[in-house]
Structure 1
Amino acid sequence: MAAAGERRIAWIRTRMGMLANLRERFAAERPFEGITIGLSLHVEPKTAVLVETLAAGGARIVGTGNHGSTQDDVVAALQERGMTIFGRRDDSIEEHHRNLARTIAERPQILLDNGADLAALAVTEGLSGSLIGGTEETTSGAFRLREEMNGEVPFPVIVINDSPLKAIGENKHAVGQSAVESFMRLTNVQVPGRRFVVAGYGWCGRGIAQYLRALGGRVSVAEVDELAAYEAAFDGFRVAPLADLVSSADVIITATGRAGILTAEHFDLLRDGTILGNIGHFPWEIDVPALTSAGAVAPVTEEIDAITLDGDRTVYLLTGGRMYNLAGTAPRGNSIEAMDVGFMMQALSLERIALRAANLPTGPQPVPDDINRDIARQTLSLLGSSLA
């Protein structure tokens, strides 16, 4: 298994040119010498290239994958290198929480977080005093830091999701592409002519809606924010409350970063044959417990469950409500090149924390502007473009 993981990592490494250049600099400068970085991130081949880049800079890596998206061959490959990586793809949520606790128990000085799980645990357990800072990858994690943990985070956290580069390159285009590609791969149904509802018109929702339409999907958008709804309408999508859209939908995709989007009140409105999928970080946007308790559940494939509801209606749930572009048996996730940009931002932000945390305010904050502009220039160069 470790050998298979290494082969996949080797291919990914050839496509991540910015991290390759940074790895050389980190190996020479060793900005993370003597520092343990605690990781909670989707453990897949692109993540492994980020991890080896940080390790080249002197970091000791300890961590775990996110629930349901861990790729076992990649974990095996990293463990074979002597890294302390916990978790398996089929871990229960209880096992995942234990893996998070094991990560925090290693007393990392810096967190590389996804969904704010490690930050929340460190604050709850009173272990945040040993932390000098961290990064947060997602919209969902940023919400938790700014709402659930507002004022409780005594160290700087650079929110990668606040970067316009991540919003445009990774969220809109990479998630948009991978959400549509993964939907087609998992279901083997056609997009053209099919009626899609996208719940949420943030950067990920924008990308999903636009990539679906580009392939011929008939797309409507549910959005509660006035400005985002305004943009969706001017982008040419029908915009309406979710309750008004679900009864005519063939496919519903949630992409908000919030809990309780598709709930029991909507389930009675679903048509026979409706497919439900979530792209948000946590599996809470679709109320899966309420859905599965409302009818008989039968597996169709390893990634699809059929739920028979009242009225002899059957709806289909992708990957148990987890992010279907990263869960399942053969996930691919976002494109390699997009994650080269995103993980370059992670690595440089972590370096900023390691070297200058004392100069940063505590709590969640955006990626420093100089990092955004440096990466933008490098990306333009790789694309064969340049500034005026």
Structure 2
Amino acid sequence: MHTTNDLAARGAGRVEWIRSRMPLLARAGTDFAVHRPFAGRRIGMSLHLEPKTAVLLEVLAAGGAEIVATGNHGSTQDDVVAFLRAQGMTVFGSRDDSLDQHERNVQSVLDAAPDILLDNGGDLAAGLIAAGRADSVIGGTEETTSGGDRLRAELAGRVPFPVIVINDSPLKAIGENKHAVGQSVVESFQRITNLRIPGRRFVVVGYGWCGRGIAQYLRALGGKVAVVEVDELKAFEAAMDGYRVAGLLELAEWGEVFLTATGRPGILTDEFFDAVADGAVLANSGHFPWEIDVPALRDAATGSAVLDDGIERIDLPGGRHVILLADGRMVNLAGREPKGNSLESMDLGFLLQSLSLERIALAADTLAPGAQPVPEDLDREIARRMVRAMAAER
């Protein structure tokens, strides 16, 4: 059994390696240490707690921020939590937290009265609004598509502070969502299942930036890929990119592996479970564990068995079964030995986070309330830095 010191030491080693490969964030940290844009500010965070996130928090702390943080449900890495706590940060959560405990962790962050939010899925913003305490925040950022959708739908017109949606940036769409999520989801599928990709039939549900990347990397490794997409223009794009495009139920018997990448709830439901082929593997890459209706799947089950870490066999009526990966959570962050997106992609993505948070800290009053994209001048500056960094590697 690992002691807290053992965990912190392991986390420190992992963070040291990753820190050494994130030059864009390193430069931001140097600048922040001089200018201290977050001095006197408390940043409340709800974001996957893994080593790359730890480097981001170090950079923000170098700029004078007090950090109060929790992870997202199912993706927290305990050695990283121990490392951050050893650095004096207030961090809540553990790998095995239930959903109820995760919600209590989010509430603990809000109870610390942050004045800037670093959100992922809109949980912090929604909690503050529900409590009638949104006026205590000057602004924040939102990392993901799911959170951006929530801010613009469920919370539309109720957010009195500016929220820069990092996922709206074309840099994140291309660098992180398409290429990094695409690579890491495919890699995680291989690591968890040890199944081959060449010749296997994959169905990617959703052809946004993440779905595009997943489909591309599966095909590059020899997979046979079909796409399900309800948006006519994206479906047209998928067809022009050379994928088979059809409805989910039409592909239910054809597919051997189904990967959801929509950001929306209720994608694989009872109707699909009734039609899916025996032995199909189900995995989700979206932020929330709601794209696969796991409660409905369990209600329909005649039995189940955990076969390995992150692999569960669920028996269905008629002698069929499906394999559920990572309990329907983000397969690249909740599965076995989670690595998430590549270091370089998160160096880019977290530079977007850092500079957007700096803009909030220094100029929130110049921004409109509610969800909005990354300011264009930041996108272009970060693109210049990334291209220079990539050229220096050659």
Indicate the TM-score class for this superposition, using the shorter chain for normalisation: over 0.9
2:250 matched residue in structure 1: 244
- Cα distance, 1:328 vs. partner? 2.7
Within the alignment, does 1:117 sit opposite 2:97 as a pair? no
1:198 matched residue in structure 2: 204
**Partners in 2 of 1:243 and 1:187 — Cα distance?**
24
Question: Matched residue of 1:111: which SS?
Answer: strand
Identify unmatched segments of 5+ residues in structure 2: 1-6
Q: Deviations over 1:191-227 (max 9, x none)?
A: 0000000000000000000100000000000000011
1:185 matched residue in structure 2: 191
Q: Which amino acid aligns with 1:128?
A: A
- Cα distance, 1:273 vs. partner? 1.0
Q: 1:25 aligns with which of 31, 35, 43?
A: 31
Q: Deviations over 1:171-194 (max 9, x none)?
A: 000000000000000000000000
8 Å contact from structure 2 (residues 43, 65) kept in 1? yes
Within the alignment, does 1:52 sit opposite 2:40 as a pair? no
Q: Which amino acid aligns with 2:195?
A: V
**Partners in 2 of 1:16 and 1:284 — Cα distance?**
32
2:310 matched residue in structure 1: 303
Question: Matched residue of 1:211: which SS?
Answer: helix
2:261 matched residue in structure 1: 255
2:3 matched residue in structure 1: none
Q: 2:351 aligns with which of 344, 349, 357?
A: 344
- Cα distance, 1:329 vs. partner? 3.9
- Cα distance, 1:110 vs. partner? 0.4
Question: Matched residue of 1:307: which SS?
Answer: strand
1:170 matched residue in structure 2: 176
Q: Which amino acid aligns with 1:104?
A: L
Q: Which amino acid aligns with 1:84?
A: T
1:283 matched residue in structure 2: 289
**Partners in 2 of 1:214 and 1:328 — Cα distance?**
23
Q: 2:386 aligns with which of 348, 363, 379?
A: 379
**Partners in 1 of 2:169 and 2:242 — Cα distance?**
26
1:211 matched residue in structure 2: 217
2:81 matched residue in structure 1: 75
- Cα distance, 1:83 vs. partner? 0.4
Q: Deviations over 1:89-131 (max 9, x none)?
A: 1100000000000000000000000000101001101111100
Question: Matched residue of 2:199: which SS?
Answer: coil
**Partners in 1 of 2:75 and 2:256 — Cα distance?**
26
User: Aligned-residue CA RMSD in angstroms?
Assistant: 0.9
Within the alignment, does 1:362 sit opposite 2:366 as a pair? no
Q: Deviations over 1:337-387 (max 9, x none)?
A: 00000000000000000000000000000000010000100111111189x
1:37 matched residue in structure 2: 43
8 Å contact from structure 2 (residues 289, 330) kept in 1? yes
Identify unmatched segments of 5+ residues in structure 1: none
8 Å contact from structure 2 (residues 306, 313) kept in 1? yes
Q: How many residues align?
A: 386
Q: Which amino acid aligns with 1:362?
A: P
Deviates more, 1:302-311 or 1:61-70: 302-311
8 Å contact from structure 2 (residues 258, 282) kept in 1? yes
Identity of aligned residues (%): 63
**Partners in 1 of 2:291 and 2:137 — Cα distance?**
31
**Partners in 1 of 2:242 and 2:153 — Cα distance?**
32
Question: Matched residue of 1:247: which SS?
Answer: coil
Structure 2 length normalisation: TM-score?
A: 0.97
**Partners in 2 of 1:366 and 1:166 — Cα distance?**
11
2:142 matched residue in structure 1: 136
Within the alignment, does 1:231 sit opposite 2:237 as a pair? yes
1:150 matched residue in structure 2: 156
Within the alignment, does 1:318 sit opposite 2:325 as a pair? yes
8 Å contact from structure 2 (residues 176, 349) kept in 1? yes
